[in-house]
Structure 1
């Protein structure tokens, strides 16, 4: 499968294309950064991000798109730009019928390095090694985009392929279909210059008891 990884950011939006299968050697097809001038208005900057991503989609025709999941805890002003760039990436892919999956930062780190608490240098080093690159990809946004693509091939590709097959069967047509899937439990802390951290997980809420009658059995009540 061919996956486009997107590390969203309004000033620097990392993009990387990786091809391969789980358990097989992976190949990097392209890596780079879509940049916008910080002094420009928001509208033209988002349009520039869209045009840049469209060029990558045209050039490499990925089957799947993996985007870092955005979460805000502190710097709301910074995270707004990141969230807007993330939405543009989801829009560009969905408009073409390409499935999109959101991966948390800790999930990406765990997939690439084996530890969800790995730092940026460790992620970059493992990406360089896994893709057999001559030099580490720069800037960090580019390395993070490749890490997202690797994570999706190893963890999320099967899920998206199954979803696409079900949709194709239901519609009677073999097409990929759109949609966004979210991997992982936690919401990541936003970091525009790379993969951030996940906040503590929330305790699950117990489901409510169901009331009703089972066919073939007498009516019963679970109330005291």
Structure 2
């Protein structure tokens, strides 16, 4: 898979780009957890999401936020990282001008950034949020989702029942709030026994990825917004 360096708001950003042969293949970017807690594009959930999308026929890009790996800049509490994500999507779209579907997927902090990106980019047709952080999660601010007013795209929120970082009760509250909105469909799935990182490969990671693939496959088949 080609290593790529592309321009970001604070200098170069480092990524892994996995294209398809079809010029009109759908595209997806994958966003990693909080760098303050060791998050990188090689996080296991991010890595597995990357290949899950590629196996579904997507051209995929995952990358390191500013200050991580070979990406330039410094951690910016989510503000600059949102700009990084927008730059990554710009790069992916420039490389794939004929793509008709655009998705964003993220894990933890990356899920929060991805859901903010939805509000900036109306061309995003679907999203996957894995273990989105809540008000009690460690990190910048209190992970407020009031910006999703309204949420512009349907998507899947998936979390583990034993998550101690993103409390399941807070995830349920977020889902309930979003499901009240009209014109979109928010699907919620829970992986029983899984923690924040889906550490057990067979019992937790594999079912999570299979759930994501089934959801994306259904959306692509239905052609729904």
What range is the shorter-chain TM-score in?
0.3 to 0.5
Highest relative contact order (Cα 8 Å, sep 6+), 1 or 2? 1
Structure 2-normalised TM-score? 0.34
TM-score under structure 1 normalisation?
Answer: 0.35
Larger-gyration structure (1/2): 1
- Relative to total residues, which structure has the larger strand share, 1 or 2? 2
